[in-house]
Amino acid sequence: MNKRILCAAMCLGIILSGSADAKGLTETQRHALDSLHQEIIDCALYFHISSVGVIRLESDQALTISHRSTKWKDHLILIANEIRKKIGMSKRAMNARSEKAFENQMAVIDNDFTNYNILLRKRLKPCAELIKNLDQRIDQAMER
């Protein structure tokens, strides 16, 4: 599958309605949310790449893992879009951030989805922690 097509499909999930508005945020809050936004995008892309890579194993377990990864990717994209609006980031800027992160992660796996296990070793634990503590992380960013 063409990596550009997959990135485009992922990025289309990002394009949701809503205007950007950073009113009411301190610079510290905006910076903290922006950093968290990058982590969320990185993890959404990790789950996207993993779902494509694991599905190629063609087993029931692979299908379950792929479905779960896709579910987390979709959830994280929704959260990223909400943060995007909160910090006043344009959809175009979020798409550019996503494309750059996608290219970086694809470079790690030599542009071959079957090498997703390289990302698994690097991203699974941080992404699992992010998901587990996402509400707390958002609250912490807003308290700054």
pLDDT at site 103: 97
As a whole-number percent, the residues of the chain with pLDDT over 70 amount to 84
Q: Domain residue spans in the chain? A: 26-143
* Banded model confidence at residue 20, pLDDT cuts 50, 70, 90: very low
Q: How far is CA 27 from CA 30, 63, 93, 138, in A?
A: 5, 43, 18, 15
17 has pLDDT over 50: no
Q: Using pLDDT thresholds of 50, 70 and 90, give the confidence band for residue 14.
A: very low
Confidence of residue 15 (pLDDT cuts 50, 70, 90): very low
Average pLDDT over residues 16-36: 76
